Amino acid sequence: MIGVCIPAHDEEDLIGRCLDSVFCAAAHADLQGETVAVVVVLDSCQDATESAVRRWPAIPLPIAARNVGKARALGSEYLLLLGARWLAFTDADTTVSPSWLADQLALQADVVCGTVAVPDWSAHGAHAGAAQRHFESTYMDRDGHRHVHGANLGISAWHYRNVGGFEARRCGEDQDLVDRLAASGARIAWSARPRVMTSGRAYSRVADGFAGALRKGWTVAREPQPQSQLLPQPLALPQTPAEDPMRPAALTGAMAQGAPVSSLRVPAIG
């Protein structure tokens, strides 16, 4: 079984498109009918995100943490209890390609770190052009990149368990996990093959998240650069280890408070 974990906090406007794309990917012929379970972790949602999720055969998992690392960890634990052999991660403001899951598995790696595309920069207003130019000039959307995105990540269940999974970090939980996976000797595919498109929002739930990275183009566009910075610079990649080449009838109140999923009775699927 393949598990997909999606954390969400007040994403009523975007979660439908996300789930539409995920269930399309779950039906890809190359998966040969393998079951795909999708968990949406509803973290402190005050809007209609849960109602939107219930239109799909997904598992809504309400928690009250306001912590994306904890949300990903609880969703992952639930999927592992269901029997997932592979964990795929994306975000509620992201859409994945029809072959997203198939492409992750086809790479035959322990971990797949994929890239992201930003199709709409309008949220940046007058800074849209500058933000887009800066992103496109500094981002490596190709194989061999070293980007880590929770919006496009896949990990084998064994390796996820081996390093202890996500930590309860409000930001950087994805990078921290991949760093530990790399240190453990897991084989990581740094690939642009699994495709996703993510929101170009200028402000997000955390100060140092992806939106903050996109806003860097605002400042860069205003600041004069030394002549040396205008010349092509060699790209230095970080060193990597040598080995690197589906909803229960109700959830308990304890879960809503973030208690371990292991205390719940897991329903049979099928």
| Euclidean distance between CA atoms 56 and 195, whole angstroms | 22
| Euclidean distance between CA atoms 118 and 197, whole angstroms | 6
Per-residue pLDDT at 262: 44
Q: Which run of H or E residues covers position 197?
A: strand 196-198
| Residue 155: CB atoms within 10 Å | 28
**pLDDT classification of 131: cutoffs 50, 70, 90:** confident
- Token pair, residue 180, equals 């530990």
**pLDDT classification of 172: cutoffs 50, 70, 90:** very high
- Token pair, residue 96, equals 């994945």
Partners of 38 in the β-ladder: 4
Q: What is the pLDDT of residues 132-146, one digit of tens each?
A: 898 888 899 999 999
Asked whether residue 60 carries a pLDDT value surpassing 60, the answer given is yes
Q: What is the pLDDT of residues 8-26, one digit of tens each?
A: 999 999 999 999 999 999 9
**CATH 3.90.550.10, applies to 2-114+142-197+245-262:** yes
Q: What is the pLDDT of residues 68-123, one digit of tens each?
A: 999 999 999 999 999 999 999 999 999 999 999 999 999 999 999 999 999 888 88
- Token pair, residue 8, equals 């969400």
Per-residue pLDDT at 201: 72
| Euclidean distance between CA atoms 133 and 17, whole angstroms | 26
DSSP of 141-195, one letter per residue? -STT-----TTSEEEEHHHHHHTT-----SS-HHHHHHHHHHHTT--EEE-S-S-
Asked whether residue 222 carries a pLDDT value surpassing 60, the answer given is no
Domain boundaries, the chain: 2-114+142-197+245-262
